[in-house]
Amino acid sequence: MPIKSILYLLLITILFACSNLETKEARLKEDVNVLLEEKLLDGQIAAWHDKEEVNIERRLAVVLTFSENKKICRDYYTILIDNGREKKRVFDTSCRISKRNWEPVNWAFKNGNKTSARSRFNAFQEMNKDAPDSEHYVSRYRLPPVLLKSVKKAELKYKLPLRKMIDKAAEKKELHPRLVHSVVKVESNYNPRARSHVGAKGLMQLMPGTAKEVGVTNSYNPDQNLKGGTTYLKKMLNRKGIKGNTALALAAYNAGYGNVKKYGYKVPPFKETKNYVKKIMKLFKE
């Protein structure tokens, strides 16, 4: 075959390979942009295969969404699984350039492993260490002795089936019943008539504004209060920067989401809030 023909075929092969690479890279960029823009909430992870990489699975997880220099940014980590072998997690941050156009994410450990993104992820993990899955209702669970003793005493005193009522409210909002029990214990000690010095009322101590927000007209009504309290707690669990983090959701329930956000998506440095989160997490983990 003439040299010119060989060179021509070689050039065509190279151009075709480059075209395929560009197409694959374009697909990958589009996939990631869609995930960062509208699909993934904080705490969620996506996994997929490209049609040209059947042996490679890509995983992208968002750790935290925040604002920086008037831009929306997202801490994330990526994982490549090549023929069943999982490579090192890569932590980094991607900021939004324009609508559905984000800075490229890193897939290779050698290209970047941002310390700040990793440290925030580790802090989230530590706060939820040993805690049951807070976002899923379970029908079989154990109440620690301190909760069981308190709820039985309250059921006799107020003549209410509090365990059944809490279980029902937890199931409707897909919350772990022990988490709801723990909040009720710390908030009111199972007293449906409880009222704080700042005006919080009922089993889950709803403030007037919060009660109105979740559609509660009578905070002293146990069913209404539990429905409203679990609705609000679930809402906090799903807020940006909190998603899936029980400790932060409890901090937001106590001190407000604004304060959790203000202090960099950490438990605010308020003595009351820190003690509140600590007490409930201890009951929840037992």
Kind plus residue range of the DSSP H or E element containing 247: helix 246-255
For residue 267, give the 3-state DSSP assignment: coil
Q: What is the dihedral of CA 148, 149, 153, 156, to 10 degrees?
A: 50
CA distance 185 to 147: 7
- What is 97-158 written as a DSSP string? EETTEEPPPP-SGGG---HHHHHHHHHHHHHTTT---TTS--SS----HHHHHHHHHHHHHH
Q: How far is CA 15 from the centre of its chain?
A: 44
What the block records as the tokens of 22 is: 């560009």
* 257, 235 contact by CB (below 8 A): no
Residue 235 token pair: 């809402």
- Report which residue type is found at 22: E
Catalytic positions, written as ranges: 187
Query: What is the distance between the alpha carbons of residues 121 and 244, in angstroms, rounded to a whole number?
Result: 12
- CA angle (21 as vertex; 16, 26 as ends), nearest 5: 125
CA–CA gap between residue 260 and residue 263 (Å, rounded): 6
**Amino acid at residue number 47:** A
Residue 93: CB partners within 8 Å, gap ≥ 6? 73, 74, 75, 76, 114, 116, 117
What six digits make up the tokens of 30? Answer: 């589009």
